[in-house]
Amino acid sequence: MRVFVTGATGYIGSAIVRELMDAGHTVVGLARSDEAAASLRAVGAGVHRGAFDDLESLRTGATMSEGVIQTAFIHDFSNLAAAVETDRRAIETLGGALAGSGKPFVVTSVTTCLTPGRVVTEEDAPDLGSVGAPRIGSERVALAMASRGVRVSVLRLPPSVHSSADKHGFVPRLISIARAKGVSAYVGDGLNRRPAVHRLDAAHLFRLALEKGSAGARYHGVADEGVPFHDIADVIGRHLKLPVTVISPEEATGHFGWFAPFASINNPTSSALTQKQLDWHPVQPALIPDLEEGHYFNFGAGSCD
């Protein structure tokens, strides 16, 4: 299958590209820059020049392909509304280009758009009161494409997609904050749970969703249903040789900054239906064993700059 991938040179997208190619698919990645184009060619992937906010380039890339995987997102939390609108318009354009074709279209969403405080499943609809609520519109636009003859599915990812290649995600952010503050902190009792998945397991699931996903389906790329935040803070504290400290909810913003809602959320998430429907079985290290391996604590690994 000829697959068009947005975000193809990103942290998750680059792993998806390799997963697809290893399975015999032909991959064409969206590339804004010469550097991105060169990195795609270096692994044997095709290049489609354009940008995530260049709708004509997205339309052309999708039209020339037999399937699309959308992983791109502009992670600009200072202007989240604009980033979300760009995402929504991109999904609408990609899906529109595939309308009536029955071709697969896999769209990335987040587990944090679901109701916090209980174990959520693939059958749960997004919650407007959730931390991830700004991205609900994109998920709705994507799933609406099923009625337009697109084999679209939404793949919700957890806050932590971890691996030795993770330099700017959830764990590096926590490590950076701990180093800056001199303590590894958790909020309240620290029992708020974090779902997680290894980057390579996530990439494998994207391929399975492309190959076997059902129109209108929602899948969860979750291996760890919920790791207590206290456990994560404890590992970080031990490896950095820093005290592990409890802070109150009122102190969370002062300590974690804009990251406070993500440090406080209780987001346990099941992937039982996904594993059954797509025969997906995570095999990579879980979050805590991956942390214990120590690669996150190498010089510079905790920086989010």
The verdict on residue 149 lying in a domain is yes
Please state, in angstroms and rounded to a whole number, the distance separating the CA atoms of residues 111 and 132.
Answer: 8
CA 250 centroid distance within chain: 28
CATH code, domain carrying 64: 3.40.50.720
Predicted local confidence at residue 83, as pLDDT: 87
Enumerate residue ranges in the chain where pLDDT < 70.
Answer: 76-77, 299-305
The DSSP bridge partners found for residue 241 are none
The verdict on residue 105 lying in a domain is yes
Strand partners, 224: 196
What are the tens digits of pLDDT across the range 145-183? 999 999 999 999 999 999 999 998 999 999 999 999 999
Say if 109 falls within a structural domain. yes
Q: Is residue 240 part of a domain?
A: no
For residue 92, being part of any structural domain is answered with yes
With respect to residue 275, please indicate whether it lies within any of the assigned structural domains: no
What per-residue confidence (pLDDT) applies to 304? 38
The tokens for 6 are 């947005």
Confidence at residue 73, expressed as pLDDT on a 0 to 100 scale? 86
Model pLDDT, residue 299: 58
CB count within 10 Å of CB 24 equals 7
Domain tally for the chain? 1
Could you give the CA distance from residue 267 to residue 193 in angstroms, rounded to a whole number? Answer: 6
Q: Which long-range contacts (CB under 8 A, 24 or more apart) does 186-189 make?
A: 186/229, 186/230, 186/232, 186/233, 186/244, 186/245, 186/246, 186/247, 186/263, 187/229, 187/246, 187/247, 187/248, 187/249, 187/252, 187/263, 187/264, 188/246, 188/248, 188/249, 188/264, 189/230, 189/246
Q: Mind listing the pLDDT tens digit for each residue in 273-300?
A: 999 999 999 999 999 999 999 999 985 5
CB atoms within 10 A of CB 2: 12
Position 305 scores a pLDDT of 35
What does the pLDDT read at residue 79? 76
| Per-residue pLDDT at 301 | 43
Which one-letter DSSP state was computed for residue 124? P
Residue 144: inside a domain: yes
- The pLDDT of residue 81: 85
- Domain span at residue 64 reads 2-160+197-224
302 in a domain, yes or no?
no
